Amino acid sequence: MRMAELSRRSRVSIPTIKFYLQQGLLDRGRLTSPNQADYGESHLERLRLVRALVEVGGLSVAATHELIADLDTPGRHLDERLGRVVRAIDGAPGDPDDTPAPARERVARLVDEHGWSDTSADYPARRRLEQLVATLARLGADDVLASLDRYAGLASEIAAADLDLLARHDREDAVLEHAIVVTVLGDALLGCMRRVAQAAESGRRYPRGGQESTGRGSSHA
C-alpha cells in the first residue's frame, strides 16, 4: 500500500509517519520509484504499536526505539514481551528496602491467596502495591486494609476481562498494541466509571431531601 493508505488505515497522519520513519521507529517500505515506497501489513501493525507506545504510553522516541529493538530479539515469548512493554511504561520499581516489612509480608500473602504467585517480587506494580499498603497503614486506614481481599478478588476479575480483550487478536504486535491501550487507558477508564458508580451508590444510600436528610441513612446498617 502507499503511504496515504497506511495513514488512513492506521489513523496516523502522514507527517507523523514520516517522523517515525526518520527516527527509525518504522522500517522503510520497498521502493517502487525514487519517491515512492510500498508498505505491507507488517508496517501497519508496527505503526499501530509505535503509536500506542508514544501517544498512549507516553514513551519517548528513544525509549520506544530501545523497546522495539528489544521486542524484536528472536525467541521472546509473548508473555515476556507483554511484561517488557508494561515495565517500560510503568518505569523502574522503587527500592524494596524503603518499604516496611509488614507491608511486604501483607502483599506476599495477598499474592499467594489470589493465585498471583507468578509475578516476581521485583515487578513494578507489586513494589508500588507494597508502598500503597504501607501508606494506608501509616494513615491508620485499617478498614481499607481489611477490605484488600475483596478488592483483590475484583482485580482478578478485571484482569480476566483485560486478557479476554487481548485474546481476540491474532498478531503479536496487535496484542502488544492493545496491551498498551488497556494498560494505560484502562486504569483511567475504570477509575472514572468507579467514580460515577460511587456517586450513584452514594445517592441511593444517603438520599437527599427525604426523612433522613439530617443525618446518615439507616438502611445500610
Q: How many residues does the chain have?
A: 221
Residue 73 touches a copy of itself, criterion: CB under 8 A: no
Binding part of the chain for a copy of itself, among 26-34, 57-65, 92-100, 164-172 by CB under 8 A, reads: 164-172
Binding part of the chain for a copy of itself, among 14-22, 35-43, 58-66, 83-91 by CB under 8 A, reads: 83-91
Percent composition of the chain: helix, strand, coil (DSSP 3-state, to 5): 65, 5, 30
Residue 184 to residue 86: CA distance in whole angstroms: 9
Residue 77 touches a copy of itself, criterion: CB under 8 A: yes
Cβ contact 49:173 at 8 Å: yes
Residue 48 to residue 127: CA distance in whole angstroms: 30
Nearest Cα residue to 89 out of 57, 65, 120: 57
Instruction: Write out the binding residues for a copy of itself, residues 167-206 only, by CB under 8 A.
Output: 167-168, 170, 172, 175, 178, 181-183, 185-206
Residue 45 amino acid letter: E
Grid coordinates given for 122: 521485583
Instruction: Write out the binding residues for a copy of itself, residues 89-128 only, by CB under 8 A.
Output: 90, 110-111, 114-119, 123-126, 128
Judged by CB, which is closer to a copy of itself: 14, or 78? 78
User: Which DSSP letter does residue 96 get?
Assistant: G
Site string for a copy of itself, 16-55 (x = CB under 8 A): -----------------------------------xx---
Residue 179 to residue 44: CA distance in whole angstroms: 17
Q: 9: which residues sit within 8 A by CB, 6+ positions away?
A: 1, 44
Site string for a copy of itself, 129-148 (x = CB under 8 A): x--x--xx-xxxx-xx--xx
Judged by CB, which is closer to a copy of itself: 34, or 115? 115
Contact pick of 25, 82, 88, 134 for a copy of itself (by CB under 8 A): 82
Q: How far is the CB of 39 from a copy of itself (least distance, A)?
A: 17
